[in-house]
A and B are shown apart, each in its own frame.
Chain A
Amino acid sequence: MDMPPELVVDRLLDDPGTRIIVCCGAGGVGKTTTAAALGLRAAERGRKVVVLTIDPARRLAQSMGIDSLDNTPRKVAGVAGGGELHAMMLDMKRTFDEIVESHADGERAAAILANPFYQSLSAGFAGTQEYMAMEKLGQLRARDDWDLIVVDTPPSRSALDFLDAPKRLGSFLDGKFIRVLMAPAKVGGRAGMKFLNVGMSLMTGTLNKLMGASLLGDVQTFVAAMDTMFGGFRTRADATFRLLQAPGTAFLVVAAPEPDALREAAYFVERLGAERMPLAGLVLNRVHGSGAAQLSAERALAAAENLEEGGIVDQEAGKAALGAPAAHSPAGGGAPESEGAEAGADADAAEGADVEGITAGLLRLHAERMQLIAREQRTRNRFTSLHPEVAVTEVAALPGDVHDLAGLRAIGERLAAGVPAGA
C-alpha cells in the first residue's frame, strides 16, 4: 500500500492565510484535545490564536489553566514564544440570547427571552448547539481580533450535523410552515393557494389537537416575536457556510485508527468534498508503534512459550522456569526461586525475580503490541485506499490524559512530527 501524503501541520499553522481551522470527527477521538494542542502550538509559533471548544472535559479546561471556560475568550497564561492563546467554551444559551438581544429592541427581546418555547429551544435541543457553534465562529471571525481561530465541533449524534443544522434552521425559518403559523390569512390571499388554505385549517386544527392550545400559543407568540430576526438568521447561516468554504479555512478530520472512527472520517472527507469545503488533512490520534518492530508477534509468542515451558532453556535456567506462574496473570512474574545472580545485578531488586517469566511477559506484551499495530494498519489501509489523496499526520498514543500545557505542547510536537514548537 502506498503511503498517503504527509500533512505538515506547521506549514498550516504558520501560513498567515490560514484564519480558521475546524476540527471535526467522531466522538471520543481526541478532537477537543487536538484543537487545544493546535491552538497552543500556533500561539507558541507566534500567532494570536483563539480556541473555541464546545464541551471540553474539565481536565482539558484545567490544562489551559482555566477552570471554567465561558462564552468569552480568556487569555491562557504560560504560553511561550511571541504569540497569544485565548480559549473559550461555547455557551449556547448565552449565544442565542445575545443574538436576540442584538436584533430585537428591549421590549421585544424581553418577550422572546421569557417565552417558554424559546427557553427550551435555546437550552439546547437537537441542532441548537451546532447552530450556535457556527454562529459563534462567525462572530469571532467578524471581530478580526485573532490571526487564527481553532474550532472544535459538537459531539453530534451524526458527525455531519454541524454542517447541516444552520441550513436546516435557515430553511425552516424561511419556510412555509413559519408563515402558516404566523399569518394564515397572508398565505391564503391568492386564488392558487386555495388548496393550501384547506390544508392549513386542517393543519392548525391538527396542531391544536396535538400540541394542546397552550403550546401552540407559545410557539405562535415566539414566532411572531422573532419575525424581524428571521431574515438575519438566514443571512448569518449563509454567511457562515460561505466562510467555511473560503480559502482561509482549513478542515482537519480527526480520527483514531479504529474502524468506526475512520468510517466516520471517510464520510467526512466525502461530505466536505461535496460541499467544496477545504480539507487540509487527517489527524490520526493514538497510533501505536514499536522500537522492536523487526520481531513479529508470532516469533515473540513462540519464544515466550519456549521460555515458559522451559523447552529450549539451558540446564541452569531450567530449574527457575519450573513452577513459574502464568505470565498473563496480573501478578505474573513473582516466582519465589532466585535466578540471574550471575549477571551481578542489584541483589535487592533481582531477588526472587524469575527472569524466564519476566522475559516471557515482555515478549507477550510485545506480541500484543505488534497485533495492535497490524490491526491499526489494516484499518488505515482501508481508509487510504478509499481516499489516497488525503494528507495524514500521526500522533503517537500517550499512556495517560493531558493535564497541563506541557501535555498539550507534547501533543503539538507529535502532531508536527516531533518538531519542538520553537523550531
Chain B
Amino acid sequence: MVSGKGGTGKTTVAAALALALAREGRRTLLVEVEGRQGIAQLFGTEALPYEERKIAVAAGGGEVYALAIDAEQALLDYLQMFYKLGSAGRALKKLGAIDFATTIAPGLRDVLLTGKACEAVRRKDRSGRYVYDHVVMDAPPTGRITRFLNVNDEVAGLARIGPIHNQAQAVMKVLKSPETAVHFVTLLEEMPVQETADGIAELARAGLPVGRVVVNMVRPHHLDDEALRAAGELRGDVAHALSRAGLGGPAERLVEPLLEQAAEHASRVALEREQRRVLARMDVSAYELPLLGTGVDLAGLYELAAELRKQADEE
C-alpha cells in the first residue's frame, strides 16, 4: 500500500515500486482505486479499463500489470462470482442499489476496493503458484488511509453475520498480516512530514502494518550556510569570478539576485534538515528518491525503480 499527502507523488512512487519489485522475472500488479487514471497518465497509455493489463516490462524480464478498480464493477463481479447473480445484479442496478452500495452505504465501497486487491493477492494459477508475486496499491491519501483499510473491521461489526461479514473478516486478515505494508510518501516539508507522523501513529493504533517512509523529490544541496555567508561578504569577488567565467558585462547586476536565490535555497535546506530530524525520530526507516529535473516520464520511472532497488539491496 502506498499512501501519502496529496501532491507528494504517491502514484509515481507506487509505480516505481511495482517496477522495482518486478525483478528477475517476477510479476507485480499495480492497482489504482481512486478513479483518477493516474497510472495511465504516468505510463502514457490510454485509460485503463476494469481489467488487468500488462503495462510495462521491468529490467530482467519481470512484468508489471495494472488494474484500475471500479467499485461498481467490483460489486457486480463479486455478486457474479459468489452468487451467480447476473440478472439480479442488473435488477439491483436498476433500482439504484448498486449506486447505493458503492457511493453511500457505509464503507461498502472501500470494502469492495480492498476486497478486490486482496483477491489478486491470494489468487493462484493451476499449478498452485501465486499469479502475482506482489500487489502494489496506489492507496488513498494519508488523511483517509487508516479509515480506508480499517473499514472491513467496521463493516464486520455492522454486518455481524453473513457473507459480507465473512468477506470483511477475510480481507482484514490479509491487511493485518505481515504480508502487507503501508508505505508513506512524503516531501521534506513540514505539512507532509507532520501528516506522515500522524498517519503512522493512526495506523499503528489500528494494528495495521507500517512499512517505510519514502522521501520523494529530494533536491541536491549546492551551497551550505557557511559558503553562503562567505558569498555575502565576498560580493566583489563573486562579481569578478562571474565575469572571469564569461558572464562579462552584467556580472555586477547578477550578484544580488544570485545571492537572494542562494539565501532562499539555504533557508529551504535548513527547513529540510529540520524535517529530516523529525523523520529520524519516527523510528521508521526511509528511502529517498531524487527530484527528476525534467519531470516524471517512463525513463524517469525506471530510474526511480532502480534507485529503490539499490537502496533495498543496500540494507
Residues of chain A at the chain B interface (Cβ within 8 Å): 26-29, 55, 57-59, 116-117, 120-121, 123-127, 155, 157-158, 165, 168-169, 171-172, 175-177, 180, 199, 202-203, 206-207, 209-215, 218, 256, 258-261, 263, 290-292, 294-295, 299, 302-304, 306-307, 312-314, 317, 327-334, 339-340, 342-343, 345-346, 349-350, 353-366, 368-369, 371, 375, 399-401
Is B95 a contact partner of A209 (Cβ separation < 8 A)? no
**Which residue in A211, A355, A365, A400 is a CB contact (below 8 Å) of B262?**
A365
Is B224 a contact partner of A330 (Cβ separation < 8 A)? yes
Can you give 24 contacting A-B residue pairs, CB < 8 Å?
A116-B158, A124-B147, A157-B36, A177-B95, A203-B88, A211-B164, A212-B164, A294-B250, A295-B247, A295-B254, A299-B247, A306-B246, A307-B245, A312-B244, A328-B221, A333-B226, A343-B235, A354-B227, A355-B234, A360-B245, A361-B262, A362-B258, A365-B262, A371-B293
Lowest 10 A-B CB distances belong to which pairs?
A: A27-B6, A28-B7, A212-B162, A291-B257, A333-B227, A28-B6, A120-B106, A353-B230, A292-B257, A303-B245
Q: Quick one: closest B residue to A321, CB to CB?
A: B241
CA–CA, A168 to B96, complex, Å?
Answer: 10
Q: Does B206 count as interface, using CB distance less than 8 angstroms? A: no
Interface set, chain B 53-109, CB cutoff 8 A to A: 79, 83, 85, 88, 91-92, 94-97, 99-100, 103-107, 109
Chain A residues closer than 8 Å to B6, beta-carbon distance: 26-29, 155
Is A332 a contact partner of B5 (Cβ separation < 8 A)? no
Is A127 a contact partner of B103 (Cβ separation < 8 A)? yes
Chain B residues closer than 8 Å to A353, beta-carbon distance: 227, 230-231, 234
> What's the least CB distance linking B216 to chain A, in Å?
12
Q: Quick one: closest B residue to A219, CB to CB?
A: B105
Is B233 a contact partner of A215 (Cβ separation < 8 A)? no
Q: Does B298 count as interface, using CB distance less than 8 angstroms? A: no
Q: Does B40 count as interface, using CB distance less than 8 angstroms? A: no
Q: Which of B124-132, B190-198, B305-313 lies at the interface with chain A?
A: B190-198
Chain A residues closer than 8 Å to B271, beta-carbon distance: 399-400
Is A172 a contact partner of B258 (Cβ separation < 8 A)? no
> What's the least CB distance linking B70 to chain A, in Å?
12
CA–CA, A385 to B225, complex, Å?
Answer: 42
Interface size on B, residues (CB 8 A): 94
At the interface, is chain A mostly helix, strand, loop or mixed? helix
Is A362 a contact partner of B231 (Cβ separation < 8 A)? yes
Chain A residues closer than 8 Å to B38, beta-carbon distance: 260
Is B227 a contact partner of A365 (Cβ separation < 8 A)? no
Interface centre among A126, A213, A307 (most CB of B within 10 A): A126
Chain B residues closer than 8 Å to A330, beta-carbon distance: 220-221, 224
> What's the least CB distance linking B160 to chain A, in Å?
5
Q: A345-B234, A353-B230 are in contact. Are A168 and B104 (CB under 8 A)?
A: yes
**Which residue in A203, A215, A312, A356 is a CB contact (below 8 Å) of B158?**
A215
Chain B residues closer than 8 Å to A349, beta-carbon distance: 229-230, 232-233
Chain B residues closer than 8 Å to A312, beta-carbon distance: 244-246
Q: Does B28 count as interface, using CB distance less than 8 angstroms? A: no
